[in-house]
Amino acid sequence: MGSIEVSARWEVPFSHDIGETSSKFLIELRDHARIMGTKCPECGRVFLPPRAFCERCFIPLKDHWVELEPRGTLEAFTIVTDAYAPAGLPRPPYVICLVKLGGSDTAIPQTLQGLDLSDPRRVARELKVGAPVKAVFKENREGRITDFHIELMNV
* Distances, alpha carbon 54 to alpha carbons 28, 102, 106, in Å: 21, 18, 12
Note whether residue 39 is domain-resident: yes
**Residue 14, in any domain of the structure:** no
Q: Report the distance separating Cα 24 and Cα 12, nearest Å.
A: 26
| pLDDT at position 91 | 87
- pLDDT of 9 > 70? The answer is yes
pLDDT tens digit sequence for 72-120: 999 999 999 988 766 677 889 999 999 999 999 999 999 999 999 999 9
Range of the domain at 148: 19-152
- The CA angle 132-43-97, to the nearest 5 degrees, is 30
pLDDT at 155 over 70: no
Contact criterion met (CB below 8 Å) for 122 and 105: no
The rounded distance, in Å, linking the Cα atoms of 102 and 146 is 18
DSSP 39-107: E-TTT--EESS--SEETTTTEE-TT-EEEE-SEEEEEEEEEE-S--SSTTPPSSSEEEEEEEETT-SS-
**Per-residue pLDDT, 89:** 77
- The predicted pLDDT at position 129 comes to 98
The pTM score is 0.88
* 116 domain-assigned: yes
- Give φ, ψ of 99 to 5 degrees: -130, 150
Strand order, beta sheet including 65-68: 46-47, 35-39, 65-68
Q: Is 2 among the domain residues?
A: no
Structural domain includes residue 63: yes
* Residue 123 belongs to a domain: yes
pLDDT at 85: 67
Predicted pLDDT of residue 90:
83
The reply to whether 92 falls in a domain is: yes
Q: Give the pLDDT band of residue 130 (cuts 50, 70, 90).
A: very high
Phi-psi region of 75 (alpha: psi -120 to 50; beta: other; left: phi over 0): alpha
Find the Cα–Cα–Cα–Cα dihedral 23, 26, 31, 33, rounded to 10°: 150
**Which pLDDT score is estimated for 109?**
97
* Count: domains in the chain: 1
Q: Is 11 contained in some domain? A: no
Amino acid (one-letter) located at 22: S
What is the pLDDT, as a whole number, of residue 153?
95
